[in-house]
Amino acid sequence: MVRRIRHFGEPNSVTKFPNQVDRLLCSHQTRRGTRERRRVFKRSLRVTLLLLMLARSLTNRLRIRLGLDREWWLVLVAGGIGVAMGTAAIGFILPIRWLERMPELLGEEFAGLSQLLLLVAPCVGALLTALVFWIFPTNFRGHGVTRVMLAVNREQSNLPIRLGIRHWLASTCTIGSGGSAGPEGPIVTIGATVGSNISRWLKGDGASAATLLGCGSAAGLAAVFNAPLAAIFFTMEVILRDFSLRTFTPIVIASVVSAATAQMWLGSSEPLFGVGIEFFQNKSETFTIGQTFFYVVFGLLTALIAVGFIRLLPISEKLFARIPVPSLLRPLMGAILLGGLGAAWMGLHKAGAGYPPFFGAGYSATRQLLDRSMYESALQGAGCDMLWIAGGIGVALLLKMVATCCTLGSGGAGGLFAPSLLLGAMSGGAFGMILHAAGFTGAPPPTHLALVGMAAMLASTTHAPLTGVLLVYELTRSYNIMLPLMLTAVIAALASRVLYRDSIYTAELASLGIRLGGMSDLTVLRRLHVSNLPLDTAITVSATDELSKVVGISAEHGVDDFVVLHEDGTYRGMVTSNDLRQALLNRQVIALLRVDEITRDDLPVVFENETLDVALDRFSRHDVERLTVLSRDKPERVLGLLSRAALMNRYQRELETS
Residue scoring higher pLDDT (389 or 557): 389
What is this structure's pTM? 0.74
Cβ–Cβ under 8 Å, residues 614 and 547: no
* Residue 302 reports pLDDT greater than 90: yes
Rounded Cα distance, 502 and 301, in Å: 18
pLDDT at 24: 55
Q: What is the mean pLDDT of the chain?
A: 81
- Cα torsion for 157, 160, 161, 162, to the nearest 10°? -140
R_g of the chain computed on alpha carbons? 35
Report, as an integer, the average pLDDT of 98-102. 75
pLDDT at 165: 92
Closest CA to 653 of 558, 532, 496: 532
Per-residue b or e along 488-508, where b marks 16 or more CB atoms closer than 10 Å to that residue's CB: bbbbbbbbbeebbebbbbbbb
Strand 626-630, strand 638-643: pairing: antiparallel
- Cα torsion for 314, 320, 322, 325, to the nearest 10°? -150
Rounded Cα distance, 299 and 457, in Å: 9
Cβ–Cβ under 8 Å, residues 254 and 212: no
* Residue 43 reports pLDDT greater than 80: no
Express as a percent the part of the chain with pLDDT over 70: 82
The torsion angles phi and psi of 222, rounded to 5 degrees, stand at -65, -35
Cβ–Cβ under 8 Å, residues 434 and 426: no
Report, as an integer, the average pLDDT of 274-282. 54
Report, as an integer, the average pLDDT of 537-544. 85
Rounded Cα distance, 375 and 389, in Å: 8
- Cα torsion for 545, 548, 554, 555, to the nearest 10°? -150
CA 506 distance to own-chain centroid: 12
State whether the Cα torsion 545-551-552-554 is positive or negative: positive
Rounded Cα distance, 13 and 3, in Å: 13
Residue scoring higher pLDDT (371 or 333): 333
Per-residue model confidence as pLDDT tens digits over 51-61 = 878 877 776 66
Cβ count near 109 (within 10 Å): 8
Range with the lowest mean pLDDT among 106-120, 323-337, 342-356, 524-538? 106-120
Query: Half-sphere exposure (CA, 13 Å, Cβ side) for 168?
Result: 19
Report, as an integer, the average pLDDT of 172-196. 90
State whether the Cα torsion 443-444-450-455 is positive or negative: negative
pLDDT band of 8, cuts 50, 70, 90: very low
Q: Which residues contact 404 (CB under 8 A, 6 or more apart)?
A: 180, 181, 309, 313, 358, 416, 419
What letter would DSSP give residue 564? E
pLDDT at 402: 94
* Residue 283 reports pLDDT greater than 60: no
Range with the lowest mean pLDDT among 21-30, 165-174, 305-314, 463-472? 21-30
Rounded Cα distance, 526 and 520, in Å: 10
Closest CA to 475 of 228, 145, 217: 228
Residue scoring higher pLDDT (21 or 443): 443
Which strands, in side-by-side order, build the sheet including 562-565?
540-542, 562-565, 571-575
Cβ–Cβ under 8 Å, residues 226 and 272: yes
pLDDT at 3: 44
- Cα torsion for 476, 479, 481, 487, to the nearest 10°? 130
pLDDT at 5: 41
pLDDT band of 221, cuts 50, 70, 90: very high
Residue-level length of the chain: 658
Strand 606-607, strand 571-575: pairing: unpaired
Report, as an integer, the average pLDDT of 109-121. 66
* Residue 12 reports pLDDT greater than 50: no
Per-residue model confidence as pLDDT tens digits over 445-493 = 898 899 899 999 999 999 989 999 998 888 777 777 888 889 999 999 9
Rounded Cα distance, 256 and 83, in Å: 10
- Cα torsion for 591, 592, 594, 596, to the nearest 10°? -140
End-to-end CA distance of the chain: 91
Cβ–Cβ under 8 Å, residues 541 and 575: yes
pLDDT at 277: 55
pLDDT at 1: 41
* Residue 431 reports pLDDT greater than 90: yes
pLDDT at 455: 93
CA distances from 550 to 252, 446, 544, 648 (A): 58, 76, 11, 28
Per-residue model confidence as pLDDT tens digits over 615-637 = 888 888 777 888 889 887 777 78
Maximal C-alpha separation, the chain? 137
* Residue 274 reports pLDDT greater than 80: no
- Where helices occur in 67-178 by DSSP H, the ranges are 73-100, 102-106, 111-135, 144-154, 161-176
Task: Kindly tell me the burial class for residue 412, based on how many C-beta atoms sit within 10 Å of its own C-beta (0-12, 13-18, 19 or more).
Answer: buried
* Residue 271 reports pLDDT greater than 70: no
Report, as an integer, the average pLDDT of 558-583. 82
Rounded Cα distance, 492 and 296, in Å: 8
Per-residue model confidence as pLDDT tens digits over 308-324 = 999 999 899 889 988 88
Rounded Cα distance, 297 and 232, in Å: 29
> Crossing angle of helices 161-176/184-201, nearest 10°?
160
Cβ count near 165 (within 10 Å): 15
Range with the lowest mean pLDDT among 329-333, 380-384, 545-549, 592-596? 380-384
Bridge partner list, 640: 629
